[in-house]
Amino acid sequence: MLITKEKQTEKQEETNKNKTKNNKKNILFIIHTDKEDEINFVKELSAKLKEKGAQIHFFLMSRGVKFAHKFQGENTALCSRNASEFSLSQNDLPFINFASQYELSYMIENSDTIIAFC
């Protein structure tokens, strides 16, 4: 199937409209780290960005899933595969969405800015 330049432009414009609903910037933090000082920095930075009107999302993976409890009440998802590696279950963290890398790809697509802590 051949996609014309015009169709690509229309699709990109639609994506951009979806990204900036309500004129709020969507920021995704991808957290791999298990360093507590970096986790605390992420929390502080995200709080400042929220004050400025940004919509914040978190995706925890790898060793970052060990700090899922610190993200209660936040818009957070974590890698279910990594959670099982660290013996975490949905019953332990009912306030967090257990997700896949596939779902992460959608989170990335719908974000204006992505910040990774590895």
| Per-residue model confidence as pLDDT tens digits over 28-62 | 999 999 999 999 999 999 999 999 999 999 999 99
The answer to whether position 43 is within a domain reads: yes
Distance CA 18, CA 21 (A): 6
CB atoms near residue 35 (< 10 Å): 12
- Report the domain count for the chain: 1
CB-based contacts of 114, cutoff 8 Å, min separation 6:
27, 28, 30, 108
Q: What is the pLDDT of residue 107?
A: 94
Question: What pLDDT, in 10s, does the model give residues 67-83?
Answer: 999 998 789 999 999 99
CATH number of 97's domain: 3.40.1260.10
pTM over 0.85: no
Domain that holds residue 87: 24-117
The answer to whether position 9 is within a domain reads: no
Question: What pLDDT, in 10s, does the model give residues 83-113?
Answer: 999 999 999 898 899 999 899 999 999 999 9
